[in-house]
Amino acid sequence: MPPKAKAAGKGRAPAKRKLAEEFPPGEVLTDTGKKSWKLGPPVGKGGFGLIYLAEPNSEKPVGPDARYVIKVEPSENGPLFCELNFYTRAAKPDLIQKWLKAQNLKQLGVPKYWGSGQHDKAGKRYRFMVIDRLGTDLQKKFEECGKRFPRKLVLQLGLRLLDTLEFIHEHEYVHADIKASNLMLGHSDPNQVYLVDYGLAYRYAPDGVLKEYKEDPKKCHNGTIEFTSIDAHKGASPCRRSDLQILSYCMVQWLCGRLPWEDRLQDPVYVRDSKIRSQENISEFLSQCFPTQDKPAEIQVFMEEVMSLGYNDKPPYERLRSILQNGLKSIQAKDDSKLEFTPVNGEPTLPAKKTTKRKKAADKAEESVADGSPIKKAKPSKKTEVNGVKKSPKAAARPRKLLSAGKQGDHKSRVKETATQTSPGLSLRSRGRKKVSS
């Protein structure tokens, strides 16, 4: 994420991170377990890393049917180091297999980690990580569907992500950056979806000891601005309820096409306060999102359940799954394990706004993150609409009076507080992120 909160919109390249140089096909990397891996051609490129097709080292060149990918970054960069901490502690194949058996699951949306290490070339040191090869990301599918997913599909995705988040949470981590571009379909099974990019993953309970709620002004708005949790907006470290709140925003966007605060993503205070108001009256928030059709009742119940959680509460995963399953029953559907990405009939629920120069610049900036090209700063619009009334940015950004820190941190009752398709492997398109220490 950008170093300044005011620039917390889309598409800012991480500051002061070195770019990875491209290795030729056939380069051999040796991981910490002494296993050698041969690189194929690069299949993904971001502002600070490269992704290659890969296979265990042999005399054969790496072909287009490769089963693995390797993500490479200069060793001093932070995101891959953070990812590796997560993968080595929580996503080794034996841990995933043990969880699948214990939970009676067939699949889990966490890529398997196969190795990592450091590689020296031309006097420079690089860090690398090997995981399963994956397919296309959901952001591309979302755009292909006209930026609206069918209700059945959204509920299926929600159920898959609940399984994934429960696994992550039970292994002491939260993801903190759930979004369509960080969700990828399986390479061999397009009906499976994987949560990727753990560069912002946070160990909320090291050795089982929960972190306390504490706001840090230097960490405000960390994450991807349109989806980030209210905890993160206030500078508190992410927790389990944070992930579920992000998931609820994603599901609403997938259903209606656009979140109400997406018109002013360059103003993080406005976005934060809009989210706080949405939590104070979830019914009214959903009426804004679905003005021309019935509100999805299950989404309201889901958000209310998440809203009732305290900072350190363990989420009721089974209860949340039941809510989404009841939503499927209400539309006479069931989770048949098939993800159907079909356009929704009719016009988008929220009318599309006229593209502004700022929006065009933000989109261009996001593309630059993927290809490493320079990013130009977007100029903020002079006026915007807040609850249907045009106001100046200064007036619109004026924060509402918030609750005390104590009530923000602990609340059990009604809560007032509130690339590009990089690869067959990992998404490098992470918009608006900050460097996070592990």
Q: Give the count of domains, the chain.
A: 2
Whether residue 434 lies inside any domain: the answer is no
Residues 222 and 322 in one domain: yes
Q: According to the model, what pLDDT value does residue 347 have?
A: 45
Kindly name the residue from 31, 163, 177, 243 that is annotated as catalytic: 177
What is the percent of the chain where pLDDT is above 90?
A: 66
User: pTM (2 decimals)?
Assistant: 0.76
For 170-219, write each residue's pLDDT tens digit.
999 999 999 999 999 999 999 999 999 998 999 999 999 999 999 999 89
Whether residue 414 lies inside any domain: the answer is no
Lowest pLDDT segment from 7-11, 22-26, 248-252: 7-11
Whether residue 147 lies inside any domain: the answer is yes
Whether residue 433 lies inside any domain: the answer is no
Residues 95 and 200 in one domain: no
Q: Which two tokens stand for residue 212?
A: 């306390």
Q: According to the model, what pLDDT value does residue 16 have?
A: 54
Look at residues 430, 420, 431 and name the one whose alpha carbon lies nearest to residue 44: 420
Q: According to the model, what pLDDT value does residue 294 have?
A: 84
Q: According to the model, what pLDDT value does residue 27 have?
A: 95
Residues 148 and 261 in one domain: yes
Residues 83 and 162 in one domain: no
Whether residue 418 lies inside any domain: the answer is no
Residues 71 and 159 in one domain: no
Q: Which residue among 104, 119, 134 closes a domain? A: 134
- Comparing 410 with 263, the larger pLDDT belongs to 263
Dist CA 24 CA 433 (whole Å)? 30
Residues 310 and 258 in one domain: yes
Residues 211 and 346 in one domain: yes
Q: Which residue among 74, 109, 134 closes a domain? A: 134
For 302-335, write each residue's pLDDT tens digit.
999 999 999 999 999 999 999 999 999 999 999 9
User: Amino acid identity of 88?
Assistant: T
Residues 119 and 141 in one domain: no
Residue 123 reports pLDDT greater than 80:
yes
Residue 311: CB atoms within 10 A of its CB come to 22
Residues 125 and 187 in one domain: no
Residue 177 is a catalytic residue? yes
Residues 165-170: contacts with CB under 8 Å, at least 24 apart:
165/195, 165/240, 165/243, 165/244, 165/247, 165/317, 166/315, 166/317, 167/90, 167/96, 167/99, 167/103, 167/108, 167/110, 168/90, 168/110, 168/195, 168/201, 168/243, 169/240, 169/243, 169/314, 169/315, 170/99
CA R_g for the chain:
21
**CATH code for position 322:** 1.10.510.10
Q: According to the model, what pLDDT value does residue 13 have?
A: 40
Residues 37 and 180 in one domain: no
Q: According to the model, what pLDDT value does residue 268 have?
A: 96
**CATH code for position 92:** 3.30.200.20
Residues 43 and 183 in one domain: no
Whether residue 118 lies inside any domain: the answer is yes
Average pLDDT over residues 72-84: 88
The domain of 54 spans: 5-134
| Average pLDDT of the chain, as a whole number | 81
Whether residue 257 lies inside any domain: the answer is yes
Look at residues 242, 247, 276, 239 and name the one whose alpha carbon lies nearest to residue 260: 276
Residue 236 reports pLDDT greater than 50:
yes
Residues 282 and 156 in one domain: yes
Q: According to the model, what pLDDT value does residue 46 have?
A: 60
Confidence of residue 17 (pLDDT cuts 50, 70, 90): low
For 21-48, write each residue's pLDDT tens digit.
889 999 999 999 999 999 999 998 765 6
Q: Which two tokens stand for residue 173?
A: 């981590």
Whether residue 278 lies inside any domain: the answer is yes
